[in-house]
């Protein structure tokens, strides 16, 4: 039986290869950019560049996980930028509060550890709560996610500014900061292995497995692809959508927490004057092949796409171009990918419904027309 | 008799999927038919929408502070939202056409402001024309890609926003442009400044100060005691009203917004119509950008930041629906005014800007939720 | 529950089912039962309540009245999962297929086989192949193919396979043949017979009398939400059935034929859109109604769309009033006088959220404008005339179109195109899914138009309609015109010609 089916499948024509390439375009693009940059930018592949590059990518990678999930469910989450700030600020602020409550410097390491645990839990809970509210409003309230998350973004931005009182918050004790950012081994390239890196990798793998290998994820993909079909199949679609938003809140907040701890600073407006993390995440989710209407996507592909964008950024820096060029490059890349997606869909729609039997006649028709002319 | 007709219109054979009914009518067609419970609150919410909200806020404002009703305070409210009003009027056309939002508005504002500052060297009017042309070009690109190739409007306009941001930052190397700066260094960066310098090095010697004063004066002029930008907002809104409801384009846009495929099959040139909507949006953003730049007295990429979200907030509050084809200019004004009112009342109470933002966001979510729920109670769907 | 003393076990029995919607009573006190191993056809006009009754069975509503028994046990079907657990399998009219997932995932949506929380890929594949075997597709389709690469009739069968996966006791098929060609229908019927033998009770909803007589054992007719009768298939004739469905003796509407002595209005030469229609040529005369017969997929709709300028034409000529015209967009063709009434009212015909006036005027907005300003009042008198002419109910153009019945919506759709004063009117399924009264009115209007000199191109799958209205009929098969019938039209002839 299997052989028969394989034989049918062997029709390895050009379109199949192209579509395979397109499905894995995140990798293709990454390799292409890596090669291009290592030619154009000196020392691009050096450890002094690669390690910081990956470190910078960790935050958008975390936020990208949740964003991919939400998009697979067929929604948008524009509030991730704000949730990152909330996670960062709350973790820092609560640490300072609990550090003092647990006895401050006098109590030593114990107060630090306890303080961080409580603070991180509170920050993550805040992210989950935001996601839950978003999810409830979208799934149960049946309001468009675009509107809900815009409102949420406004509210959270206000909240963060109020929380920080407009200032940068730093932790009163830097013990943990060093642990998160301390590499396990001081070997070129392997320096990248820090706790923060490992935690991110574990979370990426967890969510990728949940999405593609677990039954839960398959059901979610079904919901994103055709909500009604999923509902008829007995899948609780609303709950799935709510979970996607919760994941989004969770991963964004977690990313924000780790970012703030490693920087030992939480600002209320990260990305407002620089490169907005929402932009990087949005671009990489789409470049990674997540379908805009939902139903297809992969966390790992998004992650690879984040690395691609980060590679472009770093390459441009080496080539002596600033922030400005990075924004432009990311914008153009996003635009090209979106255009490509829409254009191929547009082309496909033009031919949609054509009968295969009739298409076979086309060359003959064309030949006849030519001879008539 | 009229009542009977109304009843009749609601009697329809089962068509399986849509069960929308006209509000405010009892259904006594068939003995077995269930009566829809009339929900007073829902009816008020859907009927008066944002003006119901303005009324509540006004009552609240009067209670909170005696200063609230004073003329200068009301003028303050209007003045504060007039920039937003101009931009929102433009974006209203995009939402009306069923395309969610024009997220490229902030950078359109920024880039037109910058272009205006560049060209105002030849005279203010040239600056304004150049800025508006910039808006038209950006709008055309957006409109073509979205109207013709059917790109996802939010994603595309976001991408456009990034590209424009990159362009502004890149050509200025991250610096800003001040209207009254005229040294040689200024002419080394920018979109057209180097070209201008190359064409005519004498440009260094023009009387820039007077022109800069004229430009900066745009936001500082107070004809008849009210700021110029307020008049401009009303002018833009009235023009918007006329275009939206009285012109061929506006009426075609309504059909396009209600159902794109139907409009296409009805012989409406959808690509052109959608393009128009985006051009209107970008031109309004450009006008807003000129005033914003004049107010800040500096052209930079961050002018207009946040205006996309604020405009969408105002428009949704004002009764526009993401589904398209719904809403009107009165609602746009109402939505913008509501945002102004909220902020004003909160200021009167003594709440800081950041907390205000938080409260505004919460109110927005609440209003959208109540509105959606009311519509559903009355048997309509909300998108 | 026995016929001729023979004992049969009743698989499903629904007693006193009632379901209301705001404004209507969709199903009223209906009793319905199906035996194991039986195909029970459920028939009725559009809006008779068939689909609602079956949606109740599928658990789509939680507020129906009445009792449902499955194998004699009372069940409450308030959610799709409850219905599924009770053994109801539903094949929907609109396919519930996720197009960007693979065949196997679609087959096992919501019930993916796994080890613990993980997906068991091997088992999934094997089960999918077994499942496809049940609908005889295991040799032609790889379970990992994406759904969007599968063609329409296979989708239908996969949908069936998906329903069969849950081992239903009762299988509901809602219009399963609407998109299938004749051979494909036969294939489906073979499969239905297989399923029947396994003792599954099948409810078959269809409009096609012939199909029903071919496949069903018993027939229940609904009308206006009430049950009219249940009969054995062999005890009832087509005419009786139609009478039960329609409720009144319908006098067939015949139009006296005109010979095309009039002047030639439209000539189409070698119209071609690659993959859809190839080298289609015909002529259309003033005051003539030219029918086009063809099965689904024969290029009937595509012909209409190409003529109207909705789709790109690869080559071909259209000569209107002896003048060769450029095939442009819809607006250009509309200016020239070619109007096309779409077959899909909801997706392409009417914007349901607009009022009737806005819908009707949407085609002539530029004509009612001067210098860019739009004066809808100029259209008032014409709208009034059209309302009287078509008898649209309620008689108020300010009503939102969604509030109208299907028949009246269709009249509004017709009015929308009549207001453009076309020279050539292309009607694609002008009476699909409308009630008898509206159908009659629409037919009268079409004939009247023809008398006034409009050339009508009638694309329809409703054979009696084609027979009644057309002066000539051209036959389309697989994108080609294969002939023309012009005298003594009857349904059998048309059907034979179309099937070839």
Structural domains counted in chain B: 2
Whole-number pLDDT of residue A166 = 81
- Mutation target to probe the B interface, by most B beta carbons within 10 A, among A83, A150, A164 is A150
Q: Quote the CA–CA distance of C227 and C205 in Å, as a whole number.
A: 14
Cα gap C357→C477, rounded to integer Å: 39
Helix spans in B120-182 (H): 124-148, 153-171
Q: Does C395 touch chain B (CB under 8 A)?
A: yes
Separation between Cα atoms, residue A41 and residue A55, nearest integer Å: 19
Stretch among A29-38, B201-210, C51-60, C75-84 having the lowest mean pLDDT? B201-210
Cα B53–Cα B56–Cα B62 angle in degrees, nearest 5: 135
Question: Quick one: average pLDDT of C292-306?
Answer: 84
**Percent of chain B residues past pLDDT 90, beyond the cut:** 40
C-alpha span between B185 and B206 (Å, rounded): 16
Smallest Cβ–Cβ distance between B255 and the set C18, C21, C351 belongs to C351
Taking CB atoms and an 8 Å cutoff, what residues of chain A touch C58? 232
Within an 8 Å CB–CB cutoff, is residue B123 touching chain C? Answer: no
Q: Which of B273-282, C103-112, C250-259, C268-277 shows the lowest per-residue confidence on average (mean pLDDT)?
A: C250-259
Burial of C448 (0-12, 13-18, 19+ CB in 10 A): exposed
Q: Does C349 touch chain B (CB under 8 A)?
A: yes
Asked if C22 and B14 come within 8 Å (Cβ–Cβ), the reply is no
Q: How many Å apart are CA B160 and CA C406, to the nearest integer?
A: 43
Tell me if the domain spanning C264-499 has CATH number 3.40.50.300: yes
* In a domain? residue A372: no
Residue A135 tokens read as 């999810």
Beta strands C73-75 and C65-70 are antiparallel
Q: With CA atoms as reference, report the closest residue to B290 among B228, B352, B349.
A: B228
Q: Where in chain C is the domain with CATH 3.40.50.300?
A: 10-246, 264-499
- Which of A13-17, A61-65, B278-282, C182-186 comes out lowest in average pLDDT? A13-17
Task: For chain C, say whether A228 makes contact (Cβ under 8 Å).
Answer: yes
Across residues B309-335, what is the average pLDDT? 88
**Residue B256 placed within a domain:** yes
In the predicted structure, residue A189 carries a pLDDT above the cut 60: yes
SS3 category, C226: strand
Check which CATH number belongs to the domain holding A50 and give it: 1.10.3470
pLDDT of A19 > 90? The answer is no
Nearest CA to CA, how far is A6 from chain C (Å)? 8
**Architecture in CATH of C10-246:** 3-Layer(aba) Sandwich (3.40)
**Chains with 3 or more CB pairs under 8 A to chain C:** A, B
- Judged by average pLDDT, the poorest of B137-151, B193-207, B309-323 is B193-207
For residue A165, the chain B residue with the least C-alpha distance is: B354
Domain with B74, as residue range(s), is 50-377
Contact by Cβ (8 Å): C103, C161:
no
Whether residue A77 contacts residue A149, with contact meaning beta carbons closer than 8 Å, is answered with: yes
In this structure, the answer to whether residues B26 and B161 fall within a common structural domain is no
> Which residue is listed with tokens 């099937």?
C499
pLDDT over 60 at B382, yes or no: no
Asked if the structure places residue A85 within a domain, the reply is yes
Query: Binning pLDDT at 50, 70 and 90, where does residue C235 land?
Result: confident
Q: Say if residue B223 is in the same domain as residue B308.
A: yes
Which residue of chain B comes nearest to A158, CA vs CA?
B358
Within 142-171 of A, beta carbons closer than 8 Å to B belong to 142-144, 146-148, 150-159, 161-162, 166
Q: CA dihedral in degrees (C49, C51, C56, C61; nearest 10)?
A: -100
C79 neighbourhood in chain A, CB within 8 Å = 234
| A1 domain residue, yes or no | no
Contacts of B370 in chain A (CB under 8 A): none
What does the pLDDT average to over B52-66? 89
Q: How large is the average pLDDT for residues B91-107?
A: 92
Chain B residue with the nearest C-alpha to that of A350: B149
Q: Which residues of A touch C106 (CB under 8 A)?
A: 222, 229
Residue C309: partners with Cβ closer than 8 Å, 6 or more residues away: C327, C328, C329, C330, C331, C332, C333, C338
Q: Which of C47, C347, C374 comes nearest B14 by C-beta? A: C47
Residues 6+ apart with CB under 8 A from B213: B180
What's the confidence (pLDDT) of residue A100? 86
Rg (CA), chain C: 25
pLDDT at C39: 92
Q: How many residues does chain A have?
A: 373
pLDDT value, residue C247 = 65
Same domain, B19 and B121: no
Nearest to B164 by CA among B293, B312, B302: B302
Q: Where are the beta strands (DSSP E) in C313-415?
A: 315-320, 323-325, 338-341, 369-370, 373-374
Average pLDDT, chain C: 83
- The reported pLDDT for the residue numbered C259 is 60
Looking at the structure, do residues B58 and B30 belong to the same domain, yes or no?
no
| Residue C5, token pair as written in the block | 């003393």
Name the residue facing A155 among B158, B172, B358 (closest C-beta): B358
Catalogue the E-assigned strands of C382-459: 424-428, 455-459
Judging by DSSP bridges, how do beta strands C39-43 and C424-428 pair with one another? unpaired
d(CA A123, CA A254): 8
To 10 degrees, the CA torsion angle through A19, A20, A21, A23? 80
Within a domain: residue B108?
yes
The reply to whether B383 falls in a domain is no
What is the average per-residue pLDDT within C135-144? 84
pLDDT tops 80 at residue B299: yes
Cα–Cα distance for residue pair B358/A151, rounded to 1 Å:
9
Cβ neighbors of B262 (< 8 A, separation 6 or more) are B255, C347, C348, C349, C350, C351, C362
For the cut 50, the answer to whether the pLDDT of residue B19 exceeds it is no
Does one domain contain both B217 and B179?
yes
pLDDT digits 0-9 by tens, C186-218: 888 888 888 888 888 999 987 677 788 888 899
Over 90: is that where the pLDDT of C457 sits?
yes
The distance of A81 to chain C (nearest Cα, Å) reads: 29
Same domain membership, residue B89 and residue B3: no
Provide the pLDDT for residue C296. 66
Segment C138-144 shows an average pLDDT of: 84
Which pLDDT does position A222 carry in this prediction?
92
Q: Residue A79: in which H helix or E strand, if any?
A: none
Same domain, B20 and B67: no
Joined together, the tokens standing for residue A139 give 């799934």
Q: Which of A37-46, C138-147, C277-286 shows the highest mean pLDDT? A: C277-286
Q: Which residues of C touch A295 (CB under 8 A)?
A: 98, 100-101
CA C325 centroid distance within chain: 33
Q: What's this model's pTM, rounded to 2 decimal places?
A: 0.85
**Chain B residues with CB inside 8 Å of A350's CB?**
none
Among candidate residues C340, C341, C294, the one with its CA nearest the CA of residue C480: C294
Q: Which residues fall within 8 angstroms of residue C270, CB to CB, at 6 or more apart?
A: C279, C280, C281, C315, C316, C317
**Poorest-confidence range of B146-155, B181-190, C424-433?**
B181-190
**A-chain residues near B174 (CB < 8 A):** 322-324
DSSP label at residue C31: E
- Distance in angstroms (rounded) separating the CA atoms of residues C401 and C362: 13
The sign of the CA dihedral A134, A139, A140, A141 is positive
Chain B nearest C-alpha distance from A209 (Å): 28
Is residue C253 predicted with pLDDT exceeding 80? no
C-alpha B19/C-alpha B376 separation (Å) is 11
Residues B25 and B127 in one domain: no
Confidence of residue C499 (pLDDT cuts 50, 70, 90): low
Residue C457 or residue A229, greater confidence: C457
Transcribe A139-177 into DSSP letters. Answer: IIS---HHHHHHHHHHHHHHHHHHHHTTS-B--S--HHH
Digit-coded pLDDT (tens) for B31-43:
333 334 456 777 7
Q: Which residue did the predictor score with more confidence, C176 or B310?
A: B310
Pair B14, B159 in one domain? no
**Mean pLDDT, residues A170-175 taken together:** 81
C264 membership: H or E segment, kind and range: strand C264-273
State the average pLDDT over residues B248-261: 93
Which of A148-162, B170-184, C72-86 bottoms out in mean pLDDT, i.e. has the lowest? Answer: B170-184
Position B200 pLDDT exceeds 90 = no
Domain presence at residue B136: yes
Whether pLDDT at C7 is above 70: no
Task: Please give the tally of structural domains in chain A.
Answer: 1
Cβ separation C363–B267 shorter than 8 A: yes
State the best of A5, A9, A357 to mutate against chain C, taking most chain C CBs within 10 Å.
A5
CB within 8 Å: C119 and A291: no
Question: By three-state DSSP, how is residue A354 classified?
Answer: coil
Q: Do A143 and B368 touch (CB under 8 A)?
A: yes
ipTM: 0.85
Mean pLDDT for A357-368 is: 80
Residue C323 has pLDDT above 70, yes or no: yes
Beta-bridge partner residues of C227: C222
Give the distance from residue B310's alpha carbon to the nearest chain A alpha carbon, in angstroms.
9
Q: Tell me whether residue B152 is in a domain.
A: yes
**Do B70 and B32 belong together in one domain?**
no
Q: Which residues fall within 8 angstroms of residue A74, CB to CB, at 6 or more apart?
A: A223, A224, A227, A241, A293, A294, A295
Q: Tell whether B4 and B136 lie within a shared domain.
A: no
Mean per-residue pLDDT for A59-80?
Answer: 93
Instruction: Tell me the CB-side half-sphere exposure of residue C239, using CA atoms within 13 A.
Output: 4
Q: B267 Cβ partners below 8 Å, 6+ apart?
A: C329, C330, C331, C333, C334, C363
* B25/B86 same-domain check: no
3-class DSSP assignment, residue A343: helix
Nearest CA in chain C to B262: C348
Q: Element (H or E) spanning B364, and its range?
A: helix B353-377
| Rounded Cα distance, B101 and A147, in Å | 10
Q: Is residue A365 part of a domain?
A: no
- Note the pLDDT of residue A2: 43
pLDDT for A239 beyond 90: yes
- What is the distance in angstroms between the Cα of A272 and the nearest Cα belonging to chain B? 9
Q: Sort strands C455-459 and C424-428 into parallel, antiparallel or unpaired.
A: parallel
For chain C, how far is it from start to end, CA to CA, in angstroms? 44
Average pLDDT, chain B: 82
C interface residues, A as partner, C-beta within 8 Å? 58, 79-81, 84, 90, 92, 96-101, 105-106, 109-112, 114, 117-119, 129, 138-140, 142-143, 151, 272, 274-276, 278-279, 297, 299, 302, 312, 315, 478-479
Report the CATH number that the domain containing residue B67 is assigned in CATH: 1.10.3470
Q: Name the least confident of A286-295, C30-39, C288-297.
A: C288-297
Size of interface B-C (CB pairs under 8 A): 149
């Amino acid at each position: 039986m299997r052989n028969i089916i394989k034989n049918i499948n062997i029709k390895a024509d050009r379109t199949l290869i192209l579509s395979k390439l397109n499905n894995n375009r995140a990798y293709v693009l990454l390799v292409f950019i890596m090669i291009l940059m290592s030619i154009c930018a000196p020392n691009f592949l050096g450890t002094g560049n690669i390690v910081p590059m990956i470190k910078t990518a960790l935050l958008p990678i975390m936020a990208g996980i949740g964003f991919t999930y939400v998009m697979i469910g067929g929604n948008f989450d524009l509030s991730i930028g704000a949730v990152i700030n909330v996670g960062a600020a709350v973790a820092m602020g609560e640490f300072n509060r609990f550090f003092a409550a647990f006895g401050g410097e006098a109590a030593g390491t114990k107060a630090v550890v306890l303080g961080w645990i409580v603070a991180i839990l509170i920050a993550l809970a805040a992210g989950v709560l935001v996601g839950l509210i978003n999810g409830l409003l979208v799934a149960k309230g049946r309001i468009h996610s675009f509107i809900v998350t815009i409102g949420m973004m406004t509210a959270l931005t206000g909240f963060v500014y109020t929380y920080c009182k407009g200032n940068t918050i730093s932790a009163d004790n830097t013990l943990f900061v060093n642990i998160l950012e301390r590499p396990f081994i001081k070997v070129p390239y392997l320096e990248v292995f820090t706790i923060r890196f490992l935690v991110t990798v574990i979370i990426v793998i967890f969510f990728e497995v949940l999405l593609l290998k677990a039954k839960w994820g398959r059901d979610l993909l079904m919901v994103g692809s055709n909500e009604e079909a999923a509902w008829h199949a007995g899948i609780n679609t609303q709950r799935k959508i709510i979970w996607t938003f919760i994941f989004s809140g969770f991963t964004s907040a977690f990313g924000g927490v780790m970012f703030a701890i490693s920087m030992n600073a939480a600002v209320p407006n990260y990305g407002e004057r620089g490169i907005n993390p929402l932009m990087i995440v949005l671009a990489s989710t789409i470049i990674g092949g997540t379908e805009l209407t939902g139903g297809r996507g992969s966390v790992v592909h998004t992650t690879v796409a984040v690395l691609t964008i980060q590679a472009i950024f770093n390459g441009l820096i080496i080539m002596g171009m600033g922030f400005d060029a990075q924004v432009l490059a990311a914008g153009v890349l996003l635009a090209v990918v979106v255009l490509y997606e829409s254009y191929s869909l547009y082309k496909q729609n033009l031919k949609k419904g054509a009968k295969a039997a009739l298409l076979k006649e086309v060359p003959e028709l064309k030949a006849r027309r030519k001879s008539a002319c | 008799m009229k009542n009977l007709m109304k009843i009749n219109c609601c009697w329809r054979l089962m068509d399986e999927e849509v069960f929308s009914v006209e509000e405010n009518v009892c259904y006594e067609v068939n003995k077995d038919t269930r009566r829809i419970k009339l929900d007073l609150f829902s009816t008020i919410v859907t009927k008066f929408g944002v003006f119901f909200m303005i009324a509540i806020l006004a009552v609240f404002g009067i209670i909170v502070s005696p200063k609230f009703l004073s003329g200068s305070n009301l003028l303050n409210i209007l003045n504060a939202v007039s920039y937003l009003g101009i931009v929102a009027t433009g974006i209203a056309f995009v939402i009306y056409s069923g395309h969610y939002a024009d997220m490229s508005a902030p950078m359109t504002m920024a880039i037109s402001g910058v272009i205006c500052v560049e060209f105002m060297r030849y005279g203010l009017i040239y600056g304004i024309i150049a800025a508006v042309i910039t808006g038209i070009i950006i709008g055309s690109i957006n409109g073509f890609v979205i109207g013709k190739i059917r790109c996802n409007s939010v994603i595309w306009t976001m991408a456009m926003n990034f590209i424009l941001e990159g362009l502004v930052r890149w050509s200025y190397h991250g610096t800003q442009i001040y209207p009254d700066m005229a040294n040689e260094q200024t002419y080394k960066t920018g979109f057209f400044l180097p070209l201008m310098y190359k064409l005519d090095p004498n440009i260094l010697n023009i009387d820039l100060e007077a022109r800069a004063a004229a430009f900066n004066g745009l936001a500082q002029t107070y004809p008849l005691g009210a700021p110029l930008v307020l008049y401009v907002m009303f002018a833009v809104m009235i023009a918007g009203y006329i275009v939206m409801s009285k012109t061929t384009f506006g009426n075609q846009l309504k059909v396009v917004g209600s159902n794109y495929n139907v409009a296409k099959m009805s012989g409406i040139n959808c690509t052109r119509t959608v393009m128009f909507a985006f051009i209107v949006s970008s031109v309004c953003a450009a006008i807003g950008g000129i005033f914003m730049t004049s107010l800040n007295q500096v052209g930079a990429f961050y002018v207009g930041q946040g205006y996309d979200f604020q405009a969408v907030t105002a428009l949704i509050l004002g009764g526009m629906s993401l589904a398209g084809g719904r809403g009107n200019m009165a609602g746009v004004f109402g939505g913008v005014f509501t945002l102004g009112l909220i902020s004003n009342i909160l200021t009167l109470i003594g709440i800081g800007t950041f907390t205000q933002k938080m409260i505004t966001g919460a109110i927005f979510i609440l209003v959208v939720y109540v509105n959606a729920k009311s519509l559903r109670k009355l048997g309509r769907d909300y998108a | 529950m026995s016929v001729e003393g023979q004992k049969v076990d009743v698989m499903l029995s629904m007693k006193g089912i009632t379901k209301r919607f705001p404004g209507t009573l969709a199903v009223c006190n209906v009793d319905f039962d199906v035996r194991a191993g039986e195909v029970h056809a459920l028939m009725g006009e559009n809006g008779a309540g068939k689909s609602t009754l079956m949606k109740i069975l599928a658990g789509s509503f939680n507020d129906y009245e009445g009792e449902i028994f499955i194998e004699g046990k009372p069940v409450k079907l308030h959610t799709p999962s409850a219905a599924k657990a009770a053994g109801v399998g539903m094949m929907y009219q609109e396919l519930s297929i996720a197009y960007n997932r693979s065949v196997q995932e679609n087959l096992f949506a919501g019930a993916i086989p796994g080890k613990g929380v993980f997906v068991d890929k091997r088992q999934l594949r094997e089960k999918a192949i077994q499942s496809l075997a049940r609908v005889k597709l295991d040799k032609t389709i790889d379970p990992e193919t994406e759904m969007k690469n599968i063609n329409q009739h296979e989708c239908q069968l996969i949908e069936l396979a998906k329903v069969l996966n849950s081992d239903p006791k009762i299988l509901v098929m809602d219009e399963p043949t609407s998109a299938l060609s004749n051979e494909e229908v036969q294939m489906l019927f073979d499969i239905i017979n297989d399923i029947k033998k396994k003792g599954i009770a099948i409810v078959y909803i269809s409009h096609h009398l012939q199909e029903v007589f071919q496949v069903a054992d018993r027939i229940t007719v609904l009308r206006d939400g009430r049950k009219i009768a249940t009969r054995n298939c062999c005890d009832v004739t087509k005419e009786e059935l139609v009478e039960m469905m329609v409720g009144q003796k319908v006098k067939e509407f015949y139009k006296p034929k005109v010979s095309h002595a009039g002047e030639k209005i439209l000539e189409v030469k070698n119209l071609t859109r690659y993959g859809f229609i190839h080298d289609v040529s015909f002529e259309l005369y003033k005051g003539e109604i030219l029918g086009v017969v063809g099965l689904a997929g024969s290029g009937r709709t595509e012909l209409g769309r190409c003529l109207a300028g909705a789709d790109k034409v690869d080559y071909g000529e259209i000569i209107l009033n002896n003048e060769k015209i450029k095939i442009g967009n819809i607006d250009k063709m509309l200016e020239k006088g070619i109007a096309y009434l779409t077959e899909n009212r909801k997706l392409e015909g009417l914007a349901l959220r607009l009022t009737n006036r806005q819908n009707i005027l949407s085609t002539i907005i530029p004509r009612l404008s001067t210098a860019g300003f739009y004066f809808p009042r100029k259209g008032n008198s014409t709208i009034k005339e059209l309302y009287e002419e078509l008898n649209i109910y309620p008689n108020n153009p300010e009503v939102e179109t969604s509030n109208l019945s299907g028949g009246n919506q269709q009249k509004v759709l017709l009015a929308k195109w009549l207001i453009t004063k076309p020279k050539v009117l292309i009607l694609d399924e002008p009476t699909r899914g409308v009630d008898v009264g509206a159908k009659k009115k629409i037919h009268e209007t079409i004939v009247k138009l023809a008398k006034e000199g409009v050339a009508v191109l009638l694309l329809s799958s409703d054979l009696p309609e084609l027979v009644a209205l057309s002066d000539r009929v051209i036959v389309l098969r697989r994108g080609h015109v294969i002939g023309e019938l012009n005298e003594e039209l009857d349904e059998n002839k048309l059907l034979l010609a179309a099937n070839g």
